[in-house]
A and B are shown apart, each in its own frame.
Chain A
Amino acid sequence: MDRHIGFVVDSQSEFDELVLPLFDEGLRSGEKLIVFGSGPGSDAGGFSRNEQWQVNGMAAELRREVAAARHEGYRGVRVLAEMHELGMTPLSTQELIAFELALDRTVKTCGATMLCSYRRHMFAPTAVAAAMSAHAHSYGANYDDLGFRMWSGDGNRWNVRGAIELGNVASFRTALHSAVDENTTLRLCFADLRFLDLAGLQTLADLVESFPKLSLRVESPPHSFRRCWQMLGYDETCPRVEITG
């Protein structure tokens, strides 16, 4: 099940229709429900509000909430965040991608469920698109969809879905640089990637060149990936890249 889900909403009715059912589902699962921001109306019950969270301390706060909830006997934590109330609106698209990917990794490692609600009137369409690219799944009208999704898997693995191409490669580059731990092996699973063009290929090569201690393992790439990689000589110039599957 997805534990980090993005929503793009505007009206309260959209919010009620798209977000609340998934939030309420947590109650049935025995999870502690936490809201940051206005969220559901004040007459709604069954959740607690957290006023502490800010962009810079979110990961630590999430881990603390999960530990506290488990101590209190809950099976987990489900967080609904109104992102504009987290101080997210001034962030650039690059910062949004970096933030959401870091949050995605935290959600994955601590076993929480995170529902990120972006209000369309509070964010530029490009900002919404950047934020949604760091969620495996999203709901609502994302008019400037970047065309790819990147989200964390087990260990150092990151999954990529969709298409990487000239039009979104700058965002992909940002995502990679946000995900990378420069002293380890970065694993990119491309099993759900439909398409990757030469700009995308070059971005992978540049990433490895940027981090001398980084190794990259590309798993299950599209058919043309391996052929391109060899034909264009990347297998010689990028020996720290391993292609599997």
Chain B
Amino acid sequence: MSVQHEAYLYRDLAEFVAAAQPFVEQGVAADETVLVAVRAPQIDALRSVLACPDDVVFADMVELGRNPTRIIATWREFIRHNVEAGRGVRGIGEPIWPGRGAAELLECQRNEALLNVAFADGPTWRLMCPYNVTTLPPAVIEEALASHPIIAMDGVRTPNDRYQPGLDRLDGPLPVPPPGAVEVAFTVAGLPALRDVVVTMASRANLRPDRAAELLLAVHEVAVNSIQHGGGEGLLRAWLDQDTVVCEVTDRGWAPDPLTGRERPPAAARHGRGLWLANEWCDLVQWRSWTTGTCVRLHMARRGPG
């Protein structure tokens, strides 16, 4: 495996720093580019102890990983950019923290499992994923053990015999939409009506105009995928979940690649752009594809970034 993907279990901020500092400094000493994508308190604590913090790239995971489906694309671009420049890389990524909603948490867990698939080939690099065992529920730690081939705690790093390759355990159907969800079956001729529903829901949720426009295009493009790859038709369900607009598009198509939409398409690409754009713009995207059909659920909250 090209990515050395390890879960680091820590109890408090001091233990996080104690693990992260040598990991980062070893990378800097080896002339690797190091990306640390964690939350602001961890960034501040780590920066304060590093001898050369300016040699490290920091990213706020709250923003970078707001939609966890973007994380793999970020790592891919980071690796590609540095490998092209002849440099090795390593990273720290902590996408899971207390307070993540159930849907976000599930997508974070899928992201962790998919990292093993996404970076199965290519240059070798190290990725440390810290997990706070004090604040995260035991079930979350159990899943962390299932998705990381290497486990580390108290400075000891060992192969993980509880590692489970594959996604099946995380690939179940999404929760059933609420009874009041608006339903619209669509074909190509029905795309305007589909967009009318999205506009109405965005208006009811008081989405900012720019975010409403982005949700509209995202849902439309996912529906276009249904028309072009999912049997020519699909079903939109849309509802409000507190202050979040949720739009779900289902169809009869099957996309066997679990990484669909998680990589920036090349500039000249004509396909594979819609779902990637949806991932970039929406607060959360849940994508499932089985032989029986595909389901894409897009979430856009009233309160967005900026």
Contacts and interface: CB of A to CB of B under 8 A. Distances in A.
B268 A237 contact: yes
Contact of A166 (B214, B224, B273, B280): B224
A223 B213 contact: yes
Given A197-B221, A202-B270, A224 B213 contact: yes
B267 A232 contact: yes
Dominant secondary structure of chain B at its interface with chain A:
helix
A237 B266 CA distance: 11
B191 A222 contact: no
B189 interface: yes
> Top 10 closest A-B pairs, CB basis?
A233-B267, A223-B213, A224-B213, A167-B188, A224-B217, A237-B267, A223-B210, A166-B224, A236-B267, A167-B191
B192 A198 contact: no
Contacts of A236: 267
A163 B224 contact: no
B192 A197 contact: no
A224 B188 CA distance: 21
Given A166-B188, A166-B224, A228-B277, A195 B267 contact: no
B277 A198 contact: yes
Interface of A: 147, 163, 165-167, 195, 197-199, 202, 222-224, 227-228, 231-234, 236-237
B296 interface: no
Contacts of A224: 213-214, 216-217
A234 B269 CA distance: 10
A225 B269 CA distance: 17
Nearest to B190: A167
Contacts of A232: 265, 267, 269, 273, 277
Interface of B: 188-189, 191-192, 195, 209-210, 213-214, 216-217, 220-221, 224, 227, 265-270, 273-274, 277, 280
Contacts of A167: 188-189, 191-192
Contacts of A147: 192
B274 A198 contact: yes
Contacts of B191: 165-167
6 contacts: A195-B217, A197-B221, A198-B224, A222-B213, A227-B214, A232-B273
A166 B214 CA distance: 17
Contact of B217 (A197, A202, A237): A197
B220 A197 contact: yes
A151 to B, nearest CB: 21
Nearest to A197: B220
Q: Of residues B266, B274, B277, which shows the largest number of chain A Cβ atoms within 10 Å of its Cβ?
A: B277
Contacts of B210: 223
Nearest to A235: B267
Contacts of B217: 195, 197-198, 224, 228
B219 to A, nearest CB: 11
Which of A163, A198, A222, A236 neighbours the largest number of chain B CB atoms within 10 Å of its CB? A198
A209 to B, nearest CB: 10
Nearest to A196: B217
Contacts of B224: 166, 197-199
B266 A195 contact: no
B268 A231 contact: no
Contacts of B266: 233
Contacts of B216: 195, 224
A223 B274 contact: no
B273 A198 contact: yes
B267 A231 contact: no
Given A163-B195, A198-B273, A228-B217, 14 more contacts: A147-B192, A163-B192, A167-B192, A195-B216, A198-B277, A199-B224, A223-B210, A223-B213, A227-B214, A232-B265, A232-B267, A232-B277, A236-B267, A237-B267
